[in-house]
Chains A and B, each alone.
Chain A
Amino acid sequence: MPGITREEVSHLARLSRLELQDEELDHFAEQLDVIIGAVARVGEIAADDIPPTSHPLPLTNVMRPDVVRPSLTPEQALSGAPAAEQQRFKVPQILGED
Protein backbone atom coordinates (compact mmCIF):
# COMPACT_ATOMS: atom_id res chain seq x y z
CA MET A 1 0.00 0.00 0.00
CA PRO A 2 1.66 3.24 -1.10
CA GLY A 3 1.74 5.93 1.60
CA ILE A 4 -0.46 8.99 1.23
CA THR A 5 1.56 12.06 0.26
CA ARG A 6 1.28 15.71 1.15
CA GLU A 7 0.21 16.40 -2.45
CA GLU A 8 -2.58 13.84 -2.23
CA VAL A 9 -3.84 15.43 0.99
CA SER A 10 -3.78 18.79 -0.73
CA HIS A 11 -5.87 17.33 -3.57
CA LEU A 12 -8.32 15.72 -1.12
CA ALA A 13 -8.63 19.02 0.73
CA ARG A 14 -9.47 20.79 -2.52
CA LEU A 15 -12.13 18.19 -3.37
CA SER A 16 -13.47 18.51 0.19
CA ARG A 17 -13.58 22.33 0.04
CA LEU A 18 -11.15 22.74 2.92
CA GLU A 19 -8.60 25.56 2.64
CA LEU A 20 -5.98 23.75 4.74
CA GLN A 21 -2.94 25.51 6.22
CA ASP A 22 0.54 24.25 5.28
CA GLU A 23 1.26 22.73 8.68
CA GLU A 24 -2.09 20.90 8.57
CA LEU A 25 -1.11 19.22 5.29
CA ASP A 26 1.91 17.56 6.87
CA HIS A 27 0.08 16.55 10.02
CA PHE A 28 -2.94 15.14 8.18
CA ALA A 29 -0.76 13.29 5.67
CA GLU A 30 0.94 11.47 8.52
CA GLN A 31 -2.34 10.65 10.31
CA LEU A 32 -4.35 9.71 7.22
CA ASP A 33 -1.53 7.40 6.19
CA VAL A 34 -1.84 5.50 9.48
CA ILE A 35 -5.65 5.41 9.33
CA ILE A 36 -5.77 4.25 5.71
CA GLY A 37 -3.22 1.58 6.51
CA ALA A 38 -5.51 0.31 9.28
CA VAL A 39 -8.78 0.41 7.35
CA ALA A 40 -7.20 -1.26 4.32
CA ARG A 41 -7.61 -4.48 6.33
CA VAL A 42 -11.08 -4.80 4.82
CA GLY A 43 -9.21 -6.05 1.73
CA GLU A 44 -8.14 -9.19 3.61
CA ILE A 45 -11.62 -10.64 3.35
CA ALA A 46 -12.22 -12.63 0.18
CA ALA A 47 -15.61 -11.33 -0.78
CA ASP A 48 -16.04 -11.68 -4.52
CA ASP A 49 -19.38 -13.43 -4.15
CA ILE A 50 -20.62 -11.33 -1.21
CA PRO A 51 -23.28 -8.72 -2.05
CA PRO A 52 -22.67 -5.23 -0.60
CA THR A 53 -24.91 -3.78 2.15
CA SER A 54 -25.51 -0.05 1.94
CA HIS A 55 -28.22 0.15 4.55
CA PRO A 56 -29.58 -1.96 7.44
CA LEU A 57 -33.23 -1.86 6.37
CA PRO A 58 -34.60 -3.58 3.27
CA LEU A 59 -36.38 -0.45 2.04
CA THR A 60 -37.02 0.73 -1.46
CA ASN A 61 -38.61 4.06 -2.31
CA VAL A 62 -40.88 5.38 0.42
CA MET A 63 -43.55 7.63 -1.10
CA ARG A 64 -46.24 9.89 0.30
CA PRO A 65 -49.26 11.43 -1.42
CA ASP A 66 -48.28 14.56 -3.38
CA VAL A 67 -50.28 16.93 -1.21
CA VAL A 68 -49.32 20.49 -0.22
CA ARG A 69 -48.73 20.80 3.50
CA PRO A 70 -47.44 23.53 5.82
CA SER A 71 -43.70 24.23 5.65
CA LEU A 72 -41.27 26.92 6.77
CA THR A 73 -42.15 30.50 5.93
CA PRO A 74 -39.58 32.46 3.88
CA GLU A 75 -38.67 34.37 7.06
CA GLN A 76 -38.05 31.13 8.96
CA ALA A 77 -36.07 29.61 6.11
CA LEU A 78 -33.87 32.70 5.89
CA SER A 79 -33.57 33.16 9.67
CA GLY A 80 -30.09 31.61 9.81
CA ALA A 81 -28.75 33.00 6.52
CA PRO A 82 -25.38 34.78 6.69
CA ALA A 83 -26.84 37.30 4.19
CA ALA A 84 -30.28 37.66 2.63
CA GLU A 85 -31.88 40.04 0.15
CA GLN A 86 -35.37 40.23 -1.32
CA GLN A 87 -36.42 36.98 0.38
CA ARG A 88 -33.45 35.12 -1.09
CA PHE A 89 -30.15 33.76 0.17
CA LYS A 90 -27.45 36.26 -0.82
CA VAL A 91 -24.25 34.44 -1.81
CA PRO A 92 -20.81 35.47 -3.10
CA GLN A 93 -20.13 35.46 -6.82
CA ILE A 94 -20.52 31.98 -8.30
CA LEU A 95 -19.42 32.47 -11.92
CA GLY A 96 -16.24 34.27 -13.06
CA GLU A 97 -16.23 37.84 -14.43
CA ASP A 98 -15.73 36.77 -18.04
Chain B
Amino acid sequence: MTDLTRLTAAETAAAIASGETSAVDVAQAHLDRIAAVDEKVNAFLHVDTEGALAAARAVDERRASGGELGPLAGVPLALKDVFTTEGVPTTCGSKILEGWKPPYDATLTRRLKEAGVVVLGKTNMDEFAMGSSTENSAYGPTGNPWDLTRIPGGSGGGSSAALAAFEAPLAIGTDTGGSIRQPAAVTGTVGVKPTYGAVSRYGLVAFSSSLDQGGPCARTVLDAALLHEAIAGHDPLDSTSIDAPVPAVVEAARAGATGDLRGVRVGVVKEFSGEGYQAGVMQRFTESVELLRELGAEVVELSCPSFTYAMPAYYLIAPSEASSNLARFDAMRYGLRVGDDGTRSAEEVTALTREAGFGAEVKRRIMLGTYALSSGYYDAYYGQAQKVRTLITRDFEAAFGRVDVLVSPTTPTTAFPIGERADDPLAMYLADLCTIPSNLAGNAAMSLPCGLPRGRSAGRSPDHRPGDGRRPALPCRCRGGDRVHRTLGPPAA
Protein backbone atom coordinates (compact mmCIF):
# COMPACT_ATOMS: atom_id res chain seq x y z
CA MET B 1 0.00 0.00 0.00
CA THR B 2 1.27 3.45 -0.88
CA ASP B 3 1.81 6.04 1.83
CA LEU B 4 -1.64 7.62 2.11
CA THR B 5 -0.17 10.96 3.17
CA ARG B 6 1.62 11.32 -0.17
CA LEU B 7 -1.51 11.22 -2.32
CA THR B 8 -3.15 14.30 -3.77
CA ALA B 9 -6.65 15.16 -2.61
CA ALA B 10 -8.07 14.00 -5.95
CA GLU B 11 -6.24 10.66 -5.69
CA THR B 12 -7.33 10.26 -2.07
CA ALA B 13 -10.99 10.84 -2.89
CA ALA B 14 -10.79 8.38 -5.79
CA ALA B 15 -9.15 5.71 -3.63
CA ILE B 16 -11.87 6.08 -1.00
CA ALA B 17 -14.67 6.08 -3.56
CA SER B 18 -13.34 2.92 -5.22
CA GLY B 19 -12.91 1.13 -1.90
CA GLU B 20 -9.16 0.83 -2.38
CA THR B 21 -8.80 2.43 1.05
CA SER B 22 -11.17 3.81 3.68
CA ALA B 23 -11.67 7.33 4.94
CA VAL B 24 -10.80 6.11 8.44
CA ASP B 25 -7.48 4.68 7.23
CA VAL B 26 -6.70 7.94 5.44
CA ALA B 27 -7.58 10.02 8.51
CA GLN B 28 -5.55 7.74 10.78
CA ALA B 29 -2.52 7.93 8.48
CA HIS B 30 -2.59 11.72 8.67
CA LEU B 31 -3.17 11.75 12.43
CA ASP B 32 -0.15 9.43 12.77
CA ARG B 33 1.88 11.72 10.54
CA ILE B 34 0.90 14.72 12.70
CA ALA B 35 1.86 12.81 15.84
CA ALA B 36 5.23 11.98 14.28
CA VAL B 37 6.28 15.41 12.95
CA ASP B 38 4.17 18.19 14.40
CA GLU B 39 6.19 18.52 17.59
CA LYS B 40 8.91 19.91 15.31
CA VAL B 41 6.76 21.70 12.74
CA ASN B 42 4.08 23.17 15.09
CA ALA B 43 1.57 23.53 12.26
CA PHE B 44 -1.41 22.63 14.46
CA LEU B 45 -2.76 24.50 17.47
CA HIS B 46 -5.42 21.87 18.04
CA VAL B 47 -5.78 18.36 16.63
CA ASP B 48 -9.37 17.11 16.69
CA THR B 49 -8.68 13.36 16.65
CA GLU B 50 -12.18 12.31 17.70
CA GLY B 51 -13.95 14.70 15.34
CA ALA B 52 -11.76 13.68 12.42
CA LEU B 53 -12.28 9.95 12.94
CA ALA B 54 -16.04 10.44 13.41
CA ALA B 55 -16.25 12.42 10.16
CA ALA B 56 -14.22 9.74 8.38
CA ARG B 57 -16.44 6.95 9.74
CA ALA B 58 -19.51 8.82 8.48
CA VAL B 59 -18.01 8.87 4.96
CA ASP B 60 -17.21 5.15 5.10
CA GLU B 61 -20.72 4.35 6.33
CA ARG B 62 -22.24 6.47 3.60
CA ARG B 63 -20.27 4.57 0.99
CA ALA B 64 -21.17 1.20 2.52
CA SER B 65 -24.87 2.09 2.38
CA GLY B 66 -24.61 3.10 -1.26
CA GLY B 67 -24.82 6.85 -0.63
CA GLU B 68 -23.34 9.32 -3.06
CA LEU B 69 -19.91 10.73 -2.19
CA GLY B 70 -18.82 14.25 -3.13
CA PRO B 71 -15.54 14.87 -4.98
CA LEU B 72 -13.64 15.46 -1.71
CA ALA B 73 -15.43 12.98 0.57
CA GLY B 74 -13.04 11.57 3.14
CA VAL B 75 -10.14 13.89 2.26
CA PRO B 76 -8.38 15.34 5.33
CA LEU B 77 -7.95 19.08 5.72
CA ALA B 78 -6.11 21.49 8.03
CA LEU B 79 -8.28 24.49 8.93
CA LYS B 80 -6.79 27.87 9.78
CA ASP B 81 -7.69 28.74 13.36
CA VAL B 82 -9.52 31.89 12.30
CA PHE B 83 -12.71 30.08 11.21
CA THR B 84 -15.18 29.19 13.95
CA THR B 85 -15.78 25.51 14.64
CA GLU B 86 -18.66 24.58 16.93
CA GLY B 87 -17.34 23.09 20.16
CA VAL B 88 -13.74 23.01 18.87
CA PRO B 89 -11.27 25.65 20.16
CA THR B 90 -10.77 28.72 17.96
CA THR B 91 -7.97 31.05 19.05
CA CYS B 92 -6.89 33.11 16.00
CA GLY B 93 -3.38 32.58 17.40
CA SER B 94 -4.25 34.92 20.28
CA LYS B 95 -4.18 34.61 24.06
CA ILE B 96 -7.33 36.69 24.19
CA LEU B 97 -9.32 33.74 22.76
CA GLU B 98 -7.45 30.94 24.55
CA GLY B 99 -9.87 28.15 25.42
CA TRP B 100 -12.82 29.69 23.55
CA LYS B 101 -15.12 27.11 21.98
CA PRO B 102 -17.44 28.86 19.51
CA PRO B 103 -21.15 27.99 19.73
CA TYR B 104 -21.48 27.91 15.93
CA ASP B 105 -19.75 26.81 12.73
CA ALA B 106 -18.54 29.26 10.11
CA THR B 107 -20.31 28.81 6.77
CA LEU B 108 -17.01 27.53 5.36
CA THR B 109 -16.73 24.98 8.19
CA ARG B 110 -20.28 23.83 7.57
CA ARG B 111 -19.67 23.45 3.83
CA LEU B 112 -16.53 21.39 4.45
CA LYS B 113 -18.50 19.07 6.74
CA GLU B 114 -21.32 18.77 4.21
CA ALA B 115 -18.76 17.86 1.52
CA GLY B 116 -17.49 15.02 3.71
CA VAL B 117 -14.11 16.70 4.14
CA VAL B 118 -12.38 15.45 7.30
CA VAL B 119 -11.17 18.41 9.38
CA LEU B 120 -8.05 17.22 11.22
CA GLY B 121 -7.65 20.30 13.37
CA LYS B 122 -6.88 24.00 13.53
CA THR B 123 -3.65 25.49 12.22
CA ASN B 124 -1.25 28.02 13.65
CA MET B 125 -1.25 31.62 12.38
CA ASP B 126 -0.03 35.10 13.09
CA GLU B 127 -2.32 36.57 15.73
CA PHE B 128 -5.59 37.65 14.07
CA ALA B 129 -3.86 37.04 10.70
CA MET B 130 -1.51 40.01 11.17
CA GLY B 131 1.92 39.00 9.94
CA SER B 132 3.96 37.30 7.25
CA SER B 133 5.87 34.68 9.24
CA THR B 134 3.54 33.06 11.84
CA GLU B 135 5.98 34.35 14.48
CA ASN B 136 3.21 36.59 15.80
CA SER B 137 1.28 33.57 17.09
CA ALA B 138 0.86 33.57 20.86
CA TYR B 139 1.50 29.82 20.71
CA GLY B 140 5.00 29.84 19.24
CA PRO B 141 6.26 29.95 15.65
CA THR B 142 5.71 27.27 12.99
CA GLY B 143 8.77 25.87 11.23
CA ASN B 144 9.06 25.66 7.46
CA PRO B 145 9.15 21.90 6.73
CA TRP B 146 11.89 22.48 4.13
CA ASP B 147 14.12 24.04 6.80
CA LEU B 148 12.71 24.23 10.30
CA THR B 149 14.86 27.25 11.22
CA ARG B 150 13.00 29.32 8.64
CA ILE B 151 9.52 30.83 8.52
CA PRO B 152 6.67 29.06 6.67
CA GLY B 153 5.18 32.41 5.66
CA GLY B 154 2.23 34.06 7.26
CA SER B 155 -0.27 34.64 8.42
CA GLY B 156 -1.32 31.15 7.32
CA GLY B 157 2.01 29.45 8.06
CA GLY B 158 0.36 26.57 9.90
CA SER B 159 -1.75 25.70 6.87
CA SER B 160 1.14 25.92 4.38
CA ALA B 161 3.46 23.95 6.68
CA ALA B 162 0.82 21.23 7.21
CA LEU B 163 0.67 20.75 3.42
CA ALA B 164 4.44 20.80 2.91
CA ALA B 165 5.00 18.33 5.77
CA PHE B 166 2.34 15.94 4.38
CA GLU B 167 0.21 16.36 7.50
CA ALA B 168 -2.79 17.12 5.25
CA PRO B 169 -3.40 17.22 1.48
CA LEU B 170 -5.70 20.23 1.78
CA ALA B 171 -5.81 23.32 3.95
CA ILE B 172 -7.77 26.53 4.33
CA GLY B 173 -6.22 29.97 4.61
CA THR B 174 -7.38 33.56 4.62
CA ASP B 175 -5.80 36.27 2.53
CA THR B 176 -6.08 39.92 3.59
CA GLY B 177 -2.77 41.10 2.10
CA GLY B 178 -1.12 37.85 1.01
CA SER B 179 -1.65 35.44 3.91
CA ILE B 180 -2.55 32.52 1.61
CA ARG B 181 -0.17 33.26 -1.27
CA GLN B 182 3.06 34.21 0.50
CA PRO B 183 3.00 31.07 2.73
CA ALA B 184 2.35 29.00 -0.41
CA ALA B 185 5.31 30.65 -2.15
CA VAL B 186 7.81 29.88 0.61
CA THR B 187 6.65 26.29 1.18
CA GLY B 188 6.38 25.14 -2.45
CA THR B 189 2.60 24.75 -2.28
CA VAL B 190 -0.38 26.23 -4.12
CA GLY B 191 -2.45 29.00 -2.56
CA VAL B 192 -5.44 30.81 -4.02
CA LYS B 193 -6.98 34.08 -2.93
CA PRO B 194 -10.43 33.95 -4.51
CA THR B 195 -12.23 37.02 -5.78
CA TYR B 196 -13.47 39.08 -2.83
CA GLY B 197 -16.93 37.79 -1.95
CA ALA B 198 -16.48 34.35 -3.55
CA VAL B 199 -16.12 32.52 -0.22
CA SER B 200 -18.36 33.42 2.73
CA ARG B 201 -16.83 35.39 5.59
CA TYR B 202 -19.55 34.33 8.04
CA GLY B 203 -17.67 32.85 11.00
CA LEU B 204 -14.31 34.11 9.74
CA VAL B 205 -13.03 36.23 12.63
CA ALA B 206 -12.71 39.67 11.05
CA PHE B 207 -9.38 41.47 10.64
CA SER B 208 -10.02 43.87 7.73
CA SER B 209 -13.49 43.27 6.40
CA SER B 210 -13.12 44.91 3.00
CA LEU B 211 -10.02 42.79 2.27
CA ASP B 212 -10.40 39.45 4.14
CA GLN B 213 -11.04 36.45 1.91
CA GLY B 214 -10.88 32.74 2.73
CA GLY B 215 -9.52 30.36 0.15
CA PRO B 216 -7.99 27.00 -0.73
CA CYS B 217 -4.43 25.77 -0.10
CA ALA B 218 -3.15 22.52 -1.60
CA ARG B 219 -0.14 20.81 -3.15
CA THR B 220 -1.61 20.78 -6.67
CA VAL B 221 -3.69 23.18 -8.75
CA LEU B 222 -6.43 20.59 -9.32
CA ASP B 223 -6.76 19.98 -5.56
CA ALA B 224 -7.04 23.73 -4.94
CA ALA B 225 -9.75 23.96 -7.59
CA LEU B 226 -11.69 21.03 -6.08
CA LEU B 227 -11.51 22.68 -2.66
CA HIS B 228 -12.59 26.04 -4.04
CA GLU B 229 -15.72 24.53 -5.56
CA ALA B 230 -16.54 22.95 -2.18
CA ILE B 231 -16.27 26.18 -0.18
CA ALA B 232 -17.34 28.93 -2.62
CA GLY B 233 -20.81 30.17 -3.37
CA HIS B 234 -23.41 32.64 -2.22
CA ASP B 235 -24.20 32.82 1.50
CA PRO B 236 -27.13 34.88 2.74
CA LEU B 237 -25.32 35.19 6.09
CA ASP B 238 -22.56 37.30 4.47
CA SER B 239 -23.96 40.42 2.85
CA THR B 240 -20.78 40.86 0.78
CA SER B 241 -21.05 37.36 -0.67
CA ILE B 242 -21.28 37.27 -4.48
CA ASP B 243 -24.73 36.14 -5.61
CA ALA B 244 -23.70 34.32 -8.79
CA PRO B 245 -22.80 30.75 -9.80
CA VAL B 246 -19.31 29.53 -8.84
CA PRO B 247 -17.04 29.49 -11.92
CA ALA B 248 -16.10 26.00 -13.12
CA VAL B 249 -12.52 26.12 -11.84
CA VAL B 250 -12.09 22.32 -11.71
CA GLU B 251 -12.89 22.07 -15.40
CA ALA B 252 -10.50 24.97 -16.02
CA ALA B 253 -7.75 23.27 -14.01
CA ARG B 254 -8.12 20.08 -16.06
CA ALA B 255 -8.11 22.07 -19.32
CA GLY B 256 -5.06 24.06 -18.21
CA ALA B 257 -3.15 20.86 -17.51
CA THR B 258 -2.92 20.21 -21.25
CA GLY B 259 -0.27 22.93 -21.33
CA ASP B 260 -1.52 24.71 -24.44
CA LEU B 261 -1.38 28.46 -23.87
CA ARG B 262 -1.80 29.60 -27.46
CA GLY B 263 -3.94 32.73 -27.61
CA VAL B 264 -3.33 33.62 -23.97
CA ARG B 265 -1.89 37.07 -23.26
CA VAL B 266 0.33 37.31 -20.19
CA GLY B 267 1.48 40.59 -18.63
CA VAL B 268 4.62 40.82 -16.52
CA VAL B 269 4.24 43.61 -13.97
CA LYS B 270 7.31 45.83 -14.32
CA GLU B 271 7.01 47.36 -10.86
CA PHE B 272 7.62 44.02 -9.13
CA SER B 273 11.33 43.58 -9.77
CA GLY B 274 14.57 45.36 -9.04
CA GLU B 275 15.93 46.34 -5.63
CA GLY B 276 14.93 44.02 -2.82
CA TYR B 277 14.13 41.06 -5.11
CA GLN B 278 16.51 38.14 -4.60
CA ALA B 279 18.43 37.05 -7.68
CA GLY B 280 17.37 33.42 -7.21
CA VAL B 281 13.70 34.36 -7.03
CA MET B 282 13.95 36.48 -10.17
CA GLN B 283 15.83 33.75 -12.01
CA ARG B 284 13.14 31.13 -11.32
CA PHE B 285 10.43 33.65 -12.11
CA THR B 286 12.03 34.58 -15.44
CA GLU B 287 12.41 30.91 -16.32
CA SER B 288 8.72 30.25 -15.70
CA VAL B 289 7.70 33.27 -17.78
CA GLU B 290 9.89 31.85 -20.54
CA LEU B 291 8.07 28.53 -20.16
CA LEU B 292 4.72 30.29 -20.58
CA ARG B 293 6.09 31.69 -23.84
CA GLU B 294 7.25 28.23 -24.96
CA LEU B 295 3.76 26.91 -24.29
CA GLY B 296 2.33 29.44 -26.70
CA ALA B 297 1.45 32.44 -24.51
CA GLU B 298 2.04 35.93 -25.76
CA VAL B 299 4.08 37.67 -23.04
CA VAL B 300 4.35 41.44 -22.68
CA GLU B 301 5.81 43.65 -19.98
CA LEU B 302 3.51 46.34 -18.68
CA SER B 303 3.43 48.99 -16.00
CA CYS B 304 0.97 49.41 -13.14
CA PRO B 305 2.41 52.60 -11.63
CA SER B 306 0.06 52.83 -8.63
CA PHE B 307 1.12 49.39 -7.39
CA THR B 308 4.15 50.95 -5.72
CA TYR B 309 1.72 52.74 -3.39
CA ALA B 310 -0.22 49.57 -2.56
CA MET B 311 1.84 48.67 0.52
CA PRO B 312 1.51 52.10 2.20
CA ALA B 313 -2.21 52.23 1.36
CA TYR B 314 -2.73 48.74 2.74
CA TYR B 315 -0.99 49.55 6.02
CA LEU B 316 -3.44 52.39 6.52
CA ILE B 317 -6.65 50.67 5.37
CA ALA B 318 -6.12 47.28 7.05
CA PRO B 319 -5.11 48.67 10.48
CA SER B 320 -7.97 51.18 10.34
CA GLU B 321 -10.51 48.42 9.80
CA ALA B 322 -8.73 46.23 12.37
CA SER B 323 -8.86 48.93 15.04
CA SER B 324 -12.63 48.89 14.67
CA ASN B 325 -13.09 45.12 14.23
CA LEU B 326 -10.94 44.19 17.22
CA ALA B 327 -12.94 46.47 19.51
CA ARG B 328 -15.17 43.43 20.00
CA PHE B 329 -12.52 41.89 22.24
CA ASP B 330 -13.67 43.81 25.29
CA ALA B 331 -13.59 41.04 27.95
CA MET B 332 -17.37 41.16 28.39
CA ARG B 333 -19.01 38.40 26.33
CA TYR B 334 -16.35 35.82 25.56
CA GLY B 335 -12.61 35.28 25.73
CA LEU B 336 -10.11 36.46 28.31
CA ARG B 337 -11.02 38.75 31.23
CA VAL B 338 -8.21 40.17 33.38
CA GLY B 339 -8.29 42.34 36.52
CA ASP B 340 -11.97 42.00 37.42
CA ASP B 341 -11.44 42.20 41.20
CA GLY B 342 -14.60 44.12 42.06
CA THR B 343 -12.81 47.49 42.31
CA ARG B 344 -12.15 48.19 38.64
CA SER B 345 -14.57 49.61 36.09
CA ALA B 346 -15.52 47.77 32.93
CA GLU B 347 -13.34 50.17 30.91
CA GLU B 348 -10.30 49.45 33.09
CA VAL B 349 -10.90 45.70 32.84
CA THR B 350 -11.17 45.99 29.05
CA ALA B 351 -7.85 47.88 28.81
CA LEU B 352 -6.05 45.46 31.17
CA THR B 353 -7.42 42.46 29.28
CA ARG B 354 -6.41 43.79 25.87
CA GLU B 355 -2.96 44.64 27.20
CA ALA B 356 -2.54 41.08 28.50
CA GLY B 357 -4.32 39.30 25.65
CA PHE B 358 -2.95 40.97 22.50
CA GLY B 359 0.59 40.60 21.16
CA ALA B 360 2.84 43.43 19.97
CA GLU B 361 1.86 43.40 16.28
CA VAL B 362 -1.85 43.50 17.05
CA LYS B 363 -1.30 46.42 19.45
CA ARG B 364 0.79 48.24 16.83
CA ARG B 365 -1.89 47.86 14.18
CA ILE B 366 -4.76 48.86 16.46
CA MET B 367 -2.90 52.04 17.41
CA LEU B 368 -1.85 52.73 13.81
CA GLY B 369 -5.48 52.38 12.70
CA THR B 370 -6.69 54.58 15.54
CA TYR B 371 -4.13 57.17 14.47
CA ALA B 372 -5.07 57.01 10.77
CA LEU B 373 -8.76 57.44 11.59
CA SER B 374 -8.40 60.26 14.12
CA SER B 375 -9.68 63.69 13.20
CA GLY B 376 -6.95 65.85 11.75
CA TYR B 377 -5.19 62.85 10.19
CA TYR B 378 -8.15 61.13 8.51
CA ASP B 379 -7.92 62.90 5.12
CA ALA B 380 -4.13 62.68 4.87
CA TYR B 381 -3.97 58.99 5.75
CA TYR B 382 -7.14 56.90 5.53
CA GLY B 383 -8.82 59.14 2.95
CA GLN B 384 -5.74 59.29 0.76
CA ALA B 385 -5.26 55.50 1.03
CA GLN B 386 -8.82 54.98 -0.25
CA LYS B 387 -7.98 57.08 -3.30
CA VAL B 388 -4.86 55.01 -3.93
CA ARG B 389 -7.17 52.00 -3.80
CA THR B 390 -9.18 53.49 -6.66
CA LEU B 391 -6.00 54.09 -8.71
CA ILE B 392 -4.83 50.51 -8.16
CA THR B 393 -8.19 49.19 -9.34
CA ARG B 394 -7.88 51.38 -12.44
CA ASP B 395 -4.36 50.04 -13.10
CA PHE B 396 -5.76 46.50 -13.05
CA GLU B 397 -8.59 47.48 -15.39
CA ALA B 398 -6.16 49.07 -17.84
CA ALA B 399 -3.85 46.03 -17.67
CA PHE B 400 -6.71 43.58 -18.22
CA GLY B 401 -7.65 45.56 -21.31
CA ARG B 402 -4.35 44.39 -22.80
CA VAL B 403 -3.72 40.96 -21.24
CA ASP B 404 -5.65 38.03 -19.78
CA VAL B 405 -3.45 37.43 -16.78
CA LEU B 406 -0.74 39.29 -14.85
CA VAL B 407 2.29 37.56 -13.36
CA SER B 408 4.92 38.55 -10.82
CA PRO B 409 6.96 36.88 -8.10
CA THR B 410 4.68 36.19 -5.12
CA THR B 411 7.14 37.60 -2.60
CA PRO B 412 10.57 39.22 -3.10
CA THR B 413 12.57 36.64 -1.13
CA THR B 414 12.64 33.01 -0.15
CA ALA B 415 11.79 31.98 3.43
CA PHE B 416 13.83 34.07 5.84
CA PRO B 417 15.20 32.76 9.15
CA ILE B 418 12.85 32.76 12.16
CA GLY B 419 13.66 35.86 14.22
CA GLU B 420 15.29 37.85 11.41
CA ARG B 421 12.45 40.38 11.01
CA ALA B 422 10.58 39.69 14.26
CA ASP B 423 11.09 43.16 15.74
CA ASP B 424 11.31 45.10 12.47
CA PRO B 425 7.68 45.56 11.41
CA LEU B 426 8.48 47.45 8.22
CA ALA B 427 10.88 44.76 6.97
CA MET B 428 8.16 42.19 7.66
CA TYR B 429 5.59 44.22 5.70
CA LEU B 430 7.78 44.02 2.57
CA ALA B 431 6.97 40.30 2.26
CA ASP B 432 3.51 41.29 0.99
CA LEU B 433 4.67 43.86 -1.53
CA CYS B 434 3.45 41.95 -4.61
CA THR B 435 0.34 40.35 -3.15
CA ILE B 436 -1.42 43.40 -1.69
CA PRO B 437 -2.72 45.02 -4.94
CA SER B 438 -5.15 42.13 -5.58
CA ASN B 439 -6.62 42.49 -2.11
CA LEU B 440 -7.16 46.20 -2.56
CA ALA B 441 -8.85 45.65 -5.95
CA GLY B 442 -10.68 42.48 -4.84
CA ASN B 443 -9.59 40.28 -7.75
CA ALA B 444 -8.53 36.64 -7.61
CA ALA B 445 -4.87 35.70 -7.45
CA MET B 446 -2.84 32.59 -6.81
CA SER B 447 0.69 31.51 -6.00
CA LEU B 448 2.30 28.52 -7.69
CA PRO B 449 5.66 26.91 -7.01
CA CYS B 450 8.24 27.80 -9.66
CA GLY B 451 11.30 26.04 -8.35
CA LEU B 452 13.90 26.05 -5.65
CA PRO B 453 16.44 28.85 -5.64
CA ARG B 454 19.32 27.57 -3.51
CA GLY B 455 17.21 24.81 -2.09
CA ARG B 456 14.33 26.96 -0.92
CA SER B 457 10.97 27.48 -2.41
CA ALA B 458 9.94 30.48 -4.49
CA GLY B 459 6.50 31.22 -5.85
CA ARG B 460 4.97 33.20 -8.63
CA SER B 461 1.70 34.93 -8.54
CA PRO B 462 -0.70 35.37 -11.43
CA ASP B 463 -3.48 37.89 -10.86
CA HIS B 464 -6.83 37.52 -12.52
CA ARG B 465 -9.63 39.83 -13.32
CA PRO B 466 -12.52 39.54 -10.85
CA GLY B 467 -14.88 36.65 -11.40
CA ASP B 468 -12.98 35.08 -14.27
CA GLY B 469 -13.10 31.40 -13.46
CA ARG B 470 -11.23 30.06 -16.45
CA ARG B 471 -7.92 31.77 -16.02
CA PRO B 472 -6.57 30.34 -12.74
CA ALA B 473 -5.73 27.09 -14.48
CA LEU B 474 -3.36 28.60 -16.99
CA PRO B 475 0.05 28.37 -15.46
CA CYS B 476 -0.22 25.01 -13.74
CA ARG B 477 2.45 23.56 -15.97
CA CYS B 478 5.14 25.90 -14.79
CA ARG B 479 8.56 24.40 -14.25
CA GLY B 480 8.70 22.51 -10.98
CA GLY B 481 5.08 23.45 -10.47
CA ASP B 482 2.92 20.65 -9.21
CA ARG B 483 5.76 18.23 -9.20
CA VAL B 484 8.05 19.86 -6.63
CA HIS B 485 6.73 17.72 -3.82
CA ARG B 486 6.58 14.54 -5.80
CA THR B 487 10.22 14.63 -6.69
CA LEU B 488 11.89 16.10 -3.65
CA GLY B 489 9.73 16.04 -0.59
CA PRO B 490 10.59 18.43 2.19
CA PRO B 491 13.52 17.64 4.50
CA ALA B 492 11.35 17.22 7.60
CA ALA B 493 9.53 14.32 5.91
Residues on A facing B (Cβ under 8 Å): 4, 9, 12-21, 24, 28, 31-32, 34-36, 38-45, 47, 50-57, 59, 62, 64, 72, 76-77, 79-83, 89, 91-94, 96
Contact A45 B197 (CB under 8 A): no
Residues on B facing A (Cβ under 8 Å): 100-104, 196-197, 210, 236, 239-240, 242, 306, 309, 311-313, 315-316, 323, 327, 330-337, 340, 342, 344-352, 354-355, 358, 360, 363-364, 366-368, 370-372, 374, 380-381, 383-391, 393, 425-426, 429, 440-443, 466
Give the residue of B196, B311, B315, B337 whose beta carbon is less than 8 angstroms from that of A82: B337
Contact B381 A18 (CB under 8 A): no
- The smallest beta-carbon distance between A53 and chain B, in angstroms, is 4
Give the residue of B100, B309, B370 whose beta carbon is less than 8 angstroms from that of A45: B309
23 CB < 8 A contacts A-B:
A13-B363, A15-B370, A17-B327, A17-B330, A17-B354, A18-B358, A24-B360, A31-B364, A39-B313, A39-B368, A45-B387, A50-B390, A51-B387, A53-B390, A56-B197, A56-B210, A64-B236, A77-B103, A81-B334, A82-B337, A92-B340, A92-B349, A94-B345
Q: A12-B370, A59-B239 are in contact. Are A35 and B426 (CB under 8 A)?
A: yes
- The smallest beta-carbon distance between A76 and chain B, in angstroms, is 4
Which B residues lie within 8 Å of A44 (CB)? Answer: 309
Taking each of A12, A38, A56, A91, which has the highest tally of chain B beta carbons within 10 Å of its own beta carbon?
A: A56
Report the separation of the CA atoms of residues A30 and B5 in the bound assembly, to the nearest whole angstrom.
Answer: 47
Contact A53 B312 (CB under 8 A): no
Nearest 7 pairs between A and B by C-beta?
Answer: A56-B442, A80-B334, A52-B386, A82-B337, A76-B103, A62-B239, A47-B387
Which A residues lie within 8 Å of B334 (CB)? Answer: 80-82
Contact A42 B367 (CB under 8 A): no
Report the separation of the CA atoms of residues A15 and B371 in the bound assembly, to the nearest whole angstrom.
Answer: 9
Which B residues lie within 8 Å of A19 (CB)? Answer: 348, 351-352, 354-355
Q: A35-B364, A51-B387, A57-B442 are in contact. Are A82 and B309 (CB under 8 A)?
A: no
Give the residue of B315, B347, B372, B391 whose beta carbon is less than 8 angstroms from that of A50: B391
Which A residues lie within 8 Å of B346 (CB)? Answer: 91-94
- The smallest beta-carbon distance between A6 and chain B, in angstroms, is 13
Which B residues lie within 8 Å of A40 (CB)? Answer: 312, 380-381
